[in-house]
Amino acid sequence: MSPKVLAIVLAGGEGKRLMPLTADRAKPAVPFGGMYRMIDFVLSNLVNGGFLKIVVLTQYKSHSLDRHVTKTWRMSNLLGNYVAPVPAQQRRGPWWFAGSADAIYQSFNLINDEQPDYVIVFGADHIYRMDPRQMVQDHIDSGAGVTVAGIRQPLASADQFGVIEVGADGRRIRAFREKPTDAVGLPDAPDQVYASMGNYVFTTKVLCEAVERDAGDKTSKHDMGGSIIPMLVERGEANVYDFRDNDVPGSTDRDRGYWRDVGTLDSFYDAHMDLIAIHPVFNLYNFEWPIYTDQPPWPPAKFVHGWQERVGRAVGSLVSPGSVISGSLVENSVVAPKVKVHSWAHVEGSVLMEGVDIGRHAVIRNAILDKNVIVPEGAEIGVDLEKDRQRYHVSDNGIVVIGKGQRIEL
C-alpha cells in the first residue's frame, strides 16, 4: 500500500522585505506572474504529485490568503482530500506561532487526526516546479529521519544561503549552517554548495519528537531550519535530496531545476523578468505540470486602435485576461487581469498587478505597481529615480514599487 502522507505548508511569513507589497497581505498571498499568488506554486507541486491532504498554516494578515485558498483549492470530499487553511489558534498557550517549528508544535492535532507515516513540510513563498513524489520516495529509501531539499549554488555565494554540508557519501548531512563565510564545497563539485530550499520530508515520529523537544528549550528560536534540522543533523538522522535529480514532467533543459526565493523586491522583480524571455528561464507553458489558480470569468485581453502612432501592442510581455491595451505600448512586462493602459502610454520592464490603470501619455519604467494603482495622464514613474525616492519606495536595484490602491499625484 502507498504510505500515508500529510503535507504541511508553512504560510505564516510576514514578508517585511517585500514591503509595501505585504502591507495588506501575507507574503504567500502576494500576486505573482499576472494570474497567480505565490502560494499557488507549492500547492500545484503537491497536487500534481498526488498529495491531496494539505494544511496551510497561516498567521500574519492572512485574510486574502485564507480567502484565496478556500475559494481556489477545493478537493474532493468524497475521497477525503482537502486543502485547509489553519490559522494560529494558541493551542499550547496564550501565544501565537513563535516560529515555524512552533507552528508545527501547535498543530499536532492535525498530525494526530491523519496519523500519517510521513509529513511533508514545504514553504509557501518560492517560485519553482518540483515533483515531490521523487523526494518522498528518496526519503523512504534512505531510512533517514528527515530529508532536506538542496539546490546547488556556487561556493562563492554560500554566504547568501542556509548551507547544507555533506559527508563523503554526498548524502548524509554533517553540518547545516546559516550564511557561512567558510563553507566547504561538495565532494563531487568543490566549487558548489547545497543551499537549503526550505523543503523537508520527515518520518512522522522523528518530526514529532524533535518538535516537542524543541518546544521545551526556552533558548531555541523554534525555527525548522535554524533549530529542528541542526538537531537532527547532530543525531545523524538528516539526508540531503539533490534538486538536480528531480525530473518534472514537461520541463525543458532551460527551466529544469529552476528555484527562486522571492524574499526581496529585487528578487521578486527578477523572477518576473524570468517569465518573459522567448525561451523563458521559468516556463509557465508547461501543460504537463500546470500551475493552478483561481480563474474568474474574465474576458480575453484586448488590443485596440491601429491608427498611426496610436497602436495598442505588447512586445515580449505576458498580458492576462480582462486587460485592455488601448493605443499604447507595453514592452518586457507582466500585466495582470483588469489592467488598462490608455493611449500613448509606454510601459517598459514593469509588473502591473490587477486593476492598475495607466493614463494617457504616462511613462512607466522598471516598476512594480500593486493592485488598483491609478496613474494619471502624463505621469512618469521610473524616469527620474531621485524624484521617485522622495515619493515612493525604490529598491536597491532601482525598481520603483508603489503600494496597493495608491493614486499617483502629479
Q: What percent of the chain has pLDDT over 70?
A: 98
Per-domain boundaries in the chain: 5-273, 302-402
Of 148, 139, 233, whose CA–CA distance to 195 is shortest?
A: 148
What's the pLDDT tens digit per position in 130-160? 999 999 999 999 999 999 999 999 999 888 8
357, 346 in Cβ contact below 8 A? no
The pLDDT score that the predictor gives to residue 410 is 78
Distance CA 202, CA 307 (A): 62
Of 225, 246, 303, 300, whose CA–CA distance to 128 is shortest?
A: 246
Residues within the annotated binding site for alpha-D-glucose 1-phosphate?
162, 178-179, 196
Distance CA 94, CA 195 (A): 35
Evaluate if residue 202 carries a pLDDT over 90.
yes
Helices (H), 49-194: 63-72, 100-105, 108-114, 132-142
Other beta carbons within 10 angstroms of residue 303's beta carbon come to 18
Q: At 88, phi and psi to the nearest 5?
A: -60, 135
What's the pLDDT tens digit per position in 349-397? 999 999 999 999 999 999 999 999 999 999 999 999 999 999 999 999 9
Q: Is the peptide bond before 20 cis (omega within 30 degrees of 0)?
A: yes
Domain 5-273 has CATH 3.40.710.10: no
Evaluate if residue 13 carries a pLDDT over 80.
no
**CA 251 distance to own-chain centroid:** 19
Distance CA 391, CA 407 (A): 12
Report, in angstroms and rounded to the nearest whole number, the Rg of the chain calculated over CA atoms. Answer: 22
What's the pLDDT tens digit per position in 229-286? 999 999 999 999 999 999 999 998 898 999 999 989 999 999 999 999 888 999 999 9
Name residues whose C-beta falls within 8 Å of residue 47's C-beta, 6 or more positions apart in sequence.
54, 73, 83, 292
What's the pLDDT tens digit per position in 106-126? 889 999 999 999 999 999 989
Domain 302-402 has CATH 3.40.50.300: no
Residues within the annotated binding site?
162, 178-179, 196
Question: What's the pLDDT band for 91 if we cut at 50, 70, 90?
Answer: low
168: buried, middle or exposed (CB in 10 Å: 19+, 13-18, 0-12)? exposed
The pLDDT score that the predictor gives to residue 396 is 95
212, 105 in Cβ contact below 8 A? yes
Question: What's the pLDDT band for 76 if we cut at 50, 70, 90?
Answer: confident
Q: What is the pTM of this model?
A: 0.94
Question: Residue 303 corresponds to which amino acid?
Answer: F
155, 42 in Cβ contact below 8 A? no
What 3 state SS string does 160-194 have?
HCEEEEECCCCCEEEEEEECCCCCCCECCECCEEE
Other beta carbons within 10 angstroms of residue 375's beta carbon come to 27
Q: Render the burial of 140-150: b for 16+ CB within 10 Å, e for the rest.
A: beeebbbbbbb
In the chain, the N- to C-terminal Cα span, in Å, equals 66
Q: At 79, phi and psi to the nearest 5?
A: -95, 5
